[in-house]
A and B are shown apart, each in its own frame.
Chain A
Amino acid sequence: MAQNGVSQGADTHKNMILAEGVVKTFGQGEHMVTALDNVSVTIRQNEFFTLLGPSGCGKTTLLRLIAGFDLPDRGNILLDGQEIGHLPPYKRPVNTVFQNYALFPHMSVARNIGFGLEMQGRPAKEISEATDRMLALVQMEHLADRQTDQLSGGQQQRVALARALAPHPKVLLLDEPLSALDLKLRKEMQIELKRLQHETGITFVFVTHDQEEALTMSDRIAVMSAGDILQVGPPKEIYNNPARRFVADFIGDINILEADLTSGDTQATLPGGARINAILPNSWAPTGRVNVAIRPEDMALTQPGADNAALHGTVQNIVYFGSGHNVHVALDSGLDIIVRCAGTSHEVGALVGITLPDAVQVLVD
């Protein structure tokens, strides 16, 4: 794309989308559902931003408000510094890739891709050039004249992408676009999407309920639950330092243990008496009983009674999942936890010691 060099070099911290205090409810009276409850979020120019959460968390509603299919009850949505919350979808420089692709069945692949530019009243020459460029971008040149119902799921996906990218929107919205594809194709498209985002320099806002997908592709992730954004951050931060219990639970496998934290102390006391460094969420200093999160892969099994064994328990079950094993251990304190290891010499029923990482994340409920 011609814009490539320019947008890549642009100030990456410039805000592209700014949502402030957005509220959206559906239905009335008893049946009223609050889909978004006072949500504020900033999406930067040229980033791959993911809204991640279970179904019904409000992520698709937020996307539809940005696209203009629904209007917010309260709050502002700014695009590139301009208030757009009240504009109809056709007046917003934002395009959407729909979950079911929503390709026009009565048009050829090429006309689908050129549709946005056609509606903008661009000259025929520009439309056909842009269409050709988009077909090349998604490697679909050979299928330009096909009807869309003659395409496979993956091909339809590419056409939907090309159609949404052709008018070169400021923001591309993607509503769970990979959920209908099989695993192998989904993995390919994840890489493909990342490449497209890089090549076009367009801000991508991606909605998914698949945490692995979010971790793979995103520059930043917003984890949503029950109409609220719980945590925003880069994938590593979301994975390693989940601030909220919901975030920790939702992303990957995790062990949540109770621990005691005394005021001014940097260490938490685990059941059984082991002491461990505590990482506190920003500007929050809890005391007393707290929850701490430990990833299964951050622990290791060792001989019972070994010097570095902070916890002790009995192996309950060993689950093989290809690249390793999940060992389920019943701690002496009564809690069940999972420890991940590449191979294991331990057997079910064996007594084991468990080593801990240097520090654990303290969670806000």
Chain B
Amino acid sequence: MTQSSFITPAQQAESDAKLAAAKAQTDADARRRRLQLLSPSVLLIGIFGLFPLTITLIYSFLSPGSYGGVTWEFSTNAYVQFLFEADIFDDTLSFSTTYLSIFSRSIGLALVATVGALIIGFPTAYFIASKRPEQRNFWLFLITLPFWTNLLIRTYAILLIIRDEGIINLGLMGVGITDKPIGILYTDFAVFMGLIYSYLPFMVLPLYASLEKLDFRLVEAAYDLYASRFQVLRHIIIPMAKPGIVAGCILVFIPGLGAYITPELLGGGKDLMIGNLIALQFGGSRNWPFGSAAALILMVVVMLSLIVYVRHAGKGGASHG
């Protein structure tokens, strides 16, 4: 540049500083603009997520009102009640597993339903991903078809099918396999089936999303290197589908754990799941602080298990390459 010889070092430094300042200003502007993109969701989560959560947290440390609601009196009773039972006569506390067992039952059912959905969903997702691209949308459409009808209606429909006078039992008795109805409705099995049915699409869709990206040439390469079908599944397809498996399991397990409609209708409210327990506290039992505490404990359990799960899944992925 010919002009550069007319600029003194001091002038150069000054213009450099100006440039840097201007650049910092533009960077800050760009950051602010990007943050603005987030503002609608921040607003929404703030008003309808964090605010109610705060109310729940506050309620869990208050005392129950006689006809529902709360009285503004600090108390940790709700949390104590979760683990201990107060004696009716002298108020001494003894350890109780009533609510713990409801939690563990719920976690167990949600886990079994998640594994069940994975076992059913994986071949389904693989089938769709292996179709030609123009055919995949049709199959994906079929997967999302149940969402066109309300979950409550669909669960009632299941109820009608599996009840003692439903077509399954009538059919079994009609062909003479049994002479009296086999009890399916109001069992854990009915809840398990209902959960799998309700949340299967949430398993299939993320699985499909990761299997669709799977480079089939890798499968060929593994076959070429003496891997049998099972070895290809274990060493290539499953590791490559891991993000989808993790996402699908989370999407089935969490709503499954807090499910309300399915255990209420298909489980008959005999053995409670967490969702029903919480609903009961705000309804019949009129113990809002305990309901709030149970909801928060559920949230913490879910968060902790998620952290453990994602850490473990991530580590597994890394050590296997």
Contact = CB atoms under 8 A, between A and B. Distances in A.
B68 interface: no
Contacts of B215: 102
B218 A90 contact: no
Contacts, number: 69
A69 interface: yes
Contacts of A98: 217, 220-221
Contacts of B224: 67-69, 89-90, 94-96, 164
A227 interface: no
A96 B219 CA distance: 13
Nearest to A148: B321
Interface stretch (A33-41, A112-120, A247-255, A330-338): A112-120
Contacts of B221: 96, 98, 102-104
A104 B224 CA distance: 13
A19 B217 CA distance: 25
Interface in B209-245: 215, 217-218, 220-228, 231, 235-236, 239-240
B240 A106 contact: yes
A273 interface: no
Interface residues of B, number: 20
B320 interface: yes
B321 A115 contact: no
Given A89-B220, A102-B215, A163 B320 contact: no
Nearest to A94: B224
Interface in A93-145: 94-96, 98, 100, 102-108, 111, 115-116, 119-120
Contacts of A105: 218, 240, 321
B132 to A, nearest CB: 13
A116 B226 contact: yes
A66 to B, nearest CB: 11
Interface residues on A, range: 20 to 34
A107 B236 CA distance: 10
A232 to B, nearest CB: 26
B317 interface: yes
Interface string A58-91: 0000000001110000000000000000001110
Contacts of B320: 106-107
Contact of B227 (A90, A103, A147, A163): A90
B321 A88 contact: no
Given A90-B224, A119-B226, A167-B225, A104 B231 contact: no
A100 B217 contact: yes
A116 B217 contact: no
A69 B220 contact: yes
Given A89-B220, A98-B217, A147-B321, A106 B225 contact: no
22 contacts: A67-B224, A68-B223, A89-B220, A90-B225, A94-B224, A95-B225, A96-B221, A98-B217, A102-B217, A102-B218, A104-B236, A104-B321, A105-B218, A105-B240, A106-B320, A108-B321, A115-B225, A119-B226, A119-B227, A119-B231, A119-B235, A120-B226
| A-B complex: 7 closest residue pairs judged by Cβ atoms | A107-B321, A116-B225, A102-B221, A89-B223, A119-B226, A106-B321, A119-B227
